[in-house]
Every structure is written in structure tokens, then in C-alpha cells.
Amino acid sequence: MHCHDTASSSISLNNGNIALIGQPNVGKSVIFQRLTGLHVAVANYPGTTVEIARGTARNLPEATLVDTPGVITLPPFTEDEKVTERLLLEEPLRAVIQVGDAKNLRRTLLLTVQLVEMGLPMVLVLNMMDEARARGITINHATLSAHLAIPTIPATAIHGEGVEELIGALKTLAPGQFRLNYAPEIEAAVAEVCARIPQAPVAGRALALLWLSADPVAESWLKDRLEDRSYVALLAQRETLQLSFIEPIANIIQKTRIDYVDQINQGVMNDAGEGWRGLSTILGRLTTHAIWGVLILGLVLYVLYWFVGIFGAGTLVDIMEAKLFGEIINPRVVEIAQRVLPFPFLRDLFVGEYGLWTMGMTYALALIFPIVSTFFLAFGILEDSGYLPRLAALSNRLFTAIGLNGKAVLPMVLGLGCVTMATLTTRVLESKRERLLVTLLLALAIPCSAQLGVIMGMLAGVSLNATIIWGGVVLLVLLTVGWLASRLVPGERSHLLVELPPLRLPLISNVLLKTLVRLEWYIKEVVPLFLFGTLVMFLLDKIGILSILIEAGEPLVSGWLGLPAVASAAFLMGFLRRDFGATGLFLMQSQGLLTPLQVVVAMVTITLFIPCIASVMMIAKERGWRSAIGIMVLVFPLAFLAGGLLNRILIYIGWGL
Amino acid sequence: MKPFRRRFRSRGRFQQAREGHHFSCPPCSRSTCTLADVPAGCQARITSFASQLNSGRGAQLNAYGLAPGRWIRVIQSSPVIVVQVDLTEIALEQDLARGVNVQDIK
């Protein structure tokens, strides 16, 4: 009936959005930034974007640009890939910009064929041309365009090359006219499916091919729109077709595409180089080596510890907290408050022990701000270098032991930045089981940047040994709980398969921009929570509940953990945000109230403590309330169990008394 | 003295393997060889995917360029296998590599 090769005629070329689609880690978000001027997270690892971002293109009036998570191929394999396919099937698009890696033309074209079959106006951007050139690759763009009947544009988006050409091409796009012929049985089935399915934003032919490939998103799209009877008939037809092949239909369809792509690839790509061996290749290989890789990881961690723990949490905090706030700002503020504010109650509210300024703002600006700044800076460099996917390869064995694969290292490492964001990133994992396990471990054992900074600062104040004990215990808890949980949660482990992008020298401007955006987030999200927390503490203190709570917590905090009773207040603050609690402990340490042993025990306990409210909400959103509550119920006693046991062990061996 | 010399010689071979010139790749003696049998530094041609590999995984390997008929070079075989296809480096686990049949190791 309406099995057009192009998308349904209801789509006007002047309406709808423009979607950026492509494989992971090819630079979609960089182009999005270039076209819209908006900042979205950009980094050198697959899975930086897990949600759709929208923005208005500066040079294309009335066009909304949509940035999507990367798709390796269709049918999709992970949650974030599904997000992108759903966009294609549900949103009328004016055009598609496919972004591809110029060094990997075959892989890029395999997705191009799938997209161009959808019949939408389309342009192909071959990004990272600089890297392709450095490896001796040349591409004949004119021939390529002729084969696919779409414009192709060479680009190095990070330097702005090719962006103007892209804008020009977008203004004169026409619906795609490409058609690839499949085996006769498949063509017959496509025609039959086409006649039975409702109109979609993409060409009926493309949707039929997705359906025949048993694509889960296409299946649910059709199920929602067809009567049960028609859907069952379609299923039966597909099963009958399958009988004529030994291999799954999806493989037969894909094989035709692969052969076609190999054929064009041969005609348009010329590889003059004899393999490329720069310093980055050699270093890249060392990072995944069984021995060198571990040494490099150790070095990276040590540099991180030095920069964030010693320099950020030591030197910078000392300048900010003791000098700037302690000697200059706070005495003035207190003085002014005493002059201006008439009632002692109000004075205490702002500048008392639990004062909004003396506690809330001082914590947020003097203690945590310098720490998160150094952390975000170091983290941004690490992200853009391309080291993180290599860590996935290196740590695969460790994750195998806890029923996961190395890919889980990505959300875990991102959790060191912000556990809330990392929970969202679990979408890049392949099974529900893996997403649940990683979410649990994130909530339990991964401290976020603010907390990590405070912890590093406190531990660096004790000794490197203290840091190693803390790290070792947290890792042990993570592995034990992961090992147990992976045996309790049903399902199979999936094997590691991950691309290792080349190591790159990070672009300073991008790293700085990212750091600024993250700091803005910190100021907007964390500071209000600190103020709110301080207010709660102040009120509890004034009504007299605080002392009751501290007393009630005494058996647990003093008896079991062996900490001074006032530490209860810090753990109470930890309910709001772990780093808020950690900051309370930081202050106790700087007042000389904690022995090295107590510092380590307190740090282990607060690290394992329940995560902040924002991440609990995120866990509930991504995994459901049942899982969220289950995780909280598990995490809370575990934190105290581990802390108490560590206390006893350290006393027994006589460390840090 | 002997063990020391043996150790010394094996180090020399490691060096050769890294340079990839003189080191010859041993042909696989089994009837069906898999990607997991290819030593680091050698090349092989993918023939098919074993039946134990589910079809989604097969499609993913295809998309990454590990498709039947293609030549790949194994860069490293431990802790995970790293292969180079065109200009991409892909890391995959031994268990997964055992599902990829190869021939013509060289």
C-alpha cells in the first residue's frame, strides 16, 4: 500500500527536528555544540551521551537539533541505543545528520545504509579527518556521495573544520533515494509486511526490515499500533520466513549490507599507510598490558591522589579555609552579624555553630569547592584522553569475579565524579542484571567527587598508609558485596566487547569548559542542599533534638565504631549528602578530635553510607522504587558493619591508636 | 647456567614478536581454530561465528568490523584479547573470542 522507499509524505521538509545520529564516540556531541552553541558533555569514551539533548541551531532558524546516544548497529543492544531508535520511529524528523569516524569507513557505512534506507533527508559527516589523514587514509567523497545519494562532508569538528559545509548542506537536503536489494524471499516478505503496517516517520521498507530482523523497538512500536490479530499474523509470517533460512533473518539482511559496504569501501577509500605507529598507539597498548597497564593505573591514581588530595584538599583548602575564611571573611561576617542582627536566635542562625554562613557556606565554598575544582579538572583530562575504555579492558578480570564485565568500570569511574550521573550511565550496560548490580555498587561503595575530595584530604593528613587501608577496605567490601550479589541476582554475565579509542592529548579549552560547567552544577545543586542541611541541623539543635539523637546514636557511633559521640551529628548530616557528613568529620579532625584510627574508620563508614538524595531519586527513576528501597536497606547496615569490624581489626593489630 | 640461557632466549623471542618480523605464527593444529588461538602479533581471517554465539552478539561483532571474510590482527591476548580491524582497536574477552572461528593464521 504505502511501502515507499522514502519516508511518508506527511513530513514536510520545513518541519520537525534534525537528529544527530552515529556510532558511539564519533563526535556527535561536538557537532551539536558547534551548531547550537550549547554545552553538552563531550569526552573520549563511548557512552558519554546517554540521554537525548535538544537545542536550537544558530544558523538554521526554526530548526531544533537533537543529540542522541550512539548506536553501534540496529537492532539495538543496550538501553541507550534503544533511546535513539525510539526517536527515529516516534519523532517526525526533518533531517538526519549521521556522524561517522573517517578512520572506520566500513563500520560507519554499515550504519549509513540502515539510516539511508529510512528515506529521511540525510547528510553524512565523516569526522576526525585529521586522524584519518595522519594514518594515510584518503576518501573519495564524490564517489561515496554518488553511491549513497546523499551529501558527504569531511570534518574535524573539534577544530570547527567542516561545520560551515554541514550547515550549507542542511539547507538543500532532499529525501533519500537509496535502495539496496535483498534476497528475493526477503524482498517478498518486506512487501507483505509493508502492506500491513501503519505509516511511520521512516520509510515503511526500513521499518519492515527492522521488524524482520526482530528489532525489539520496532516490535513494541508495532504492537502499540496494531490490533492483536494483525500483530499475531505478522509474527506468524516472520516465523514462516525464518523456516527458509538456517541463520536468523537478521544475519541474512546484515550480510547483504556488509557485502555492499565492502564493495563501496573498496572503491572510495585508499589506505596509503602501512599501519600507524605514533606514540599514542604505543602508550595505548601499554595501558592494556597485564603488567604495564597496572603500573600505569597505579601512576594515574597516585597523580590523582597528589593533585586532589594533597594539593586540592591540603594546600588549597588551607588557603581558603584557614586563611581566607578563617582569618579574613568569617570574623568580619560575624562582626557585622552581631551589629546588624538584633536577636541571638537570628545571630546563631547565620553565624552560630550550625550557622548558615559559618557552617553551610563555609563548608561549601572553603572546604569542598577547591577540592571539587581540582577533581573535575583532573577528571576532565582523564575523560578526554581516552584512558577510560582501556581501563575496561584492564579491569575485566576483576569485574568477571563479581559477575560483570569490564564495561562496568565506566559508570563506576564516572561515579567518582557524581554518583547520580553515573546511575544514568548504567544504560550503556547490556543487561538489566548488570545495570542493577552496578547501581547497587555505585550506591554502596563509590564516593562522589565532593566526598572523595574531603576523604582524600583527611587521609592525606594522616598518611599514605591510611589512604591505602581505606581504599583496600572499600574495594574489599565492593568485591565481596558484588560477588554475593552476582550470585543472588539471576541471569548470566555478558562478555566484554568494547572499542578502544585512540589516546588523545586533551584539548585544554574543552577540559576547562567541562570543569566550569560541572562547577556551575556543583554551585547550583550542592550549595542549596548544604544550606538546607545546615538549617535542619540548626533547628534540631535549637529544639534540643540533636543532643537526644547524638545520645541515641552513641552506642552505635561510640560503642561500635569507637568514635567520639559528636560524630553522630556528622552521620546525621550524611543522610542528606555523604560529603556533607564527611565535611563534618573533616572539621572534627582539624580540631584534633580524631585519632588516625578513628579517621580511617569514620571514612570507611561514611564512604559506604547511603548516597545523596539526588542519587536515590535517580536510582528510583532508573531502577524503580522497590530496587531503590532495597538498596538503601542493604547499604545502611553494611556501612556500619564494615566500619565496626575495621575498628576492631585495627585495634587488634594496633594501627593508628 | 642452562635455565638462565633459556630464559634469555625466550626474551629474545618476545622482542621479535613485538617487532612482528622474524617471529613466525604457528599454524593452529586443531580442526577449527578460533580467535582465542591466534597469538599476539599474528593475523587471521574470520570464517564464521560459532553457533553458541547469540545472534545479537554476532550482529555487534559484524558492526565492529569483525565480520566473516575479514582479516584481523591480534595485538594482545592477555588480560583480554585486543584485535585491530581496519584502524579500530577492539577489546574482547577470551570466552567471546572462542565463538569466532578463524583460518589462515599468519
- Cβ of A288 within 8 Å of Cβ of B79? The answer is yes
Using one digit for the tens of pLDDT, what is the confidence trace for A50-78?
788 888 887 777 788 999 998 988 888 88
Contact A104 B86 (CB under 8 A): yes
Contact B62 A110 (CB under 8 A): yes
- Report for A179-188, A337-346, A415-424, A547-556: range of highest mean pLDDT: A179-188
Mean pLDDT of A40-45: 73
Cell of A311: 594539593
Best mutation target, B54, B70, B72, B89, to test chain A (most A CBs within 10 A): B89
CB contact under 8 Å between B89 and A284, yes or no, is yes
Task: Tell me if A397 and B75 make a contact (CB, 8 A cut-off).
Answer: no
| Chain B residues touching residue A111 (CB < 8 angstroms) | 63
Mutation for testing the A interface, residue in B34, B46, B86, B100 having most A CBs under 10 Å: B86
Alpha helix ranges (H) inside chain B: 2-19, 55-63, 94-97
CA A13 to chain centre: 34
pLDDT at A14: 58
Higher pLDDT, A268 or A7: A268
Taking contacts as CB-CB distances below 8 angstroms, the residues of chain B near A106 are 65, 86
Mean predicted confidence (pLDDT) in A442-458: 84
Mutate to test the interface with A, among B80, B88, B100 (most CBs of A within 10 A): B80
CB contact under 8 A, B63 and A107: yes
What gap in Å lies between CA A639 and CA A632, rounded to an integer? 11
Tell me the shortest Cα–Cα distance from B30 to chain A, in angstroms: 24
- Per residue in B68-89, pLDDT tens? 888 899 998 888 999 998 888 8
Chain A residues touching B58 at Cβ < 8 A: 251
Which residues of chain A does B88 touch, with a Cβ-Cβ cutoff of 8 Å? 101, 103-104, 107, 499
The alpha-carbon gap from B21 to the nearest alpha carbon of chain A, in Å, equals 14
Closest-CA distance, A443 to chain B, in angstroms, reads 27
Taking a C-beta distance cutoff of 8 angstroms, is the pair A351, A340 a contact?
Answer: no
The per-residue pLDDT for B7 is: 40
Q: Which residue of chain B comes nearest to A137, CA vs CA?
A: B87
> What is d(CA A267, CA A579) in angstroms, rounded to the nearest whole number?
58
Q: Helices marked H in A4-152 — which ranges?
A: 28-36, 79-90, 105-116, 129-134, 141-148
Contact A212, A256 (CB under 8 A): no
Q: Which residues from chain B sit within 8 angstroms of residue A258, using beta carbons?
A: 62, 67
Tens-place pLDDT, residues A94-117: 899 999 999 889 989 999 999 999
Q: How far is A76 from chain B (nearest CA, A)?
A: 9
Whether residue A557 has pLDDT greater than 70: yes
Q: Do B92 and A137 touch (CB under 8 A)?
A: no
Residues of B with a Cβ under 8 Å from any A Cβ are: 55-65, 67, 69, 75-76, 78-80, 82, 86-93, 95-96
pLDDT for res A50: 76
pLDDT tens-digit map of A572-610: 888 877 888 888 888 888 888 899 999 999 999 999 988
Rounding to the nearest 10 degrees, give the CA dihedral for residues A393, A497, A110, A31: -50
Residue A41 has pLDDT above 80, yes or no: no
What's the whole-number average pLDDT of chain A?
A: 87
Of A75, A105, A405, Cβ closest to residue B59: A75
pLDDT tens figures, B4-46:
444 444 344 444 444 444 567 777 777 788 898 888 888 899 9
Top residue of B47, B76, B85, B87 to mutate, by most chain A CBs within 10 Å, is: B87
User: Among partner residues A101, A289, A397, which is closest to B76 by beta-carbon distance?
Assistant: A289
CB contact under 8 A, A103 and B88: yes
pTM of the predicted model, to two decimals?
0.81
Pick from A105, A132, A254: which is nearest to B62 by CB? A254
* Cα angle A185-A190-A194, degrees, rounded to a multiple of 5: 155
Q: Which of A243, A103, A251, A108 is nearest to B68 (CA)?
A: A251
Task: Please say whether the beta carbons of A474 and A445 come within 8 A.
Answer: yes
Q: Which of B60, B79, B88 sits opposite A77 (nearest CB)?
A: B60
Q: Enter the DSSP assignment of A248.
A: -
DSSP reduced 3-state for A101: strand
Question: Does position A42 have pLDDT exceeding 80, yes or no?
Answer: no
Q: Please, what is the Cα angle at A209 between A205 and A215, to 5 degrees?
A: 135
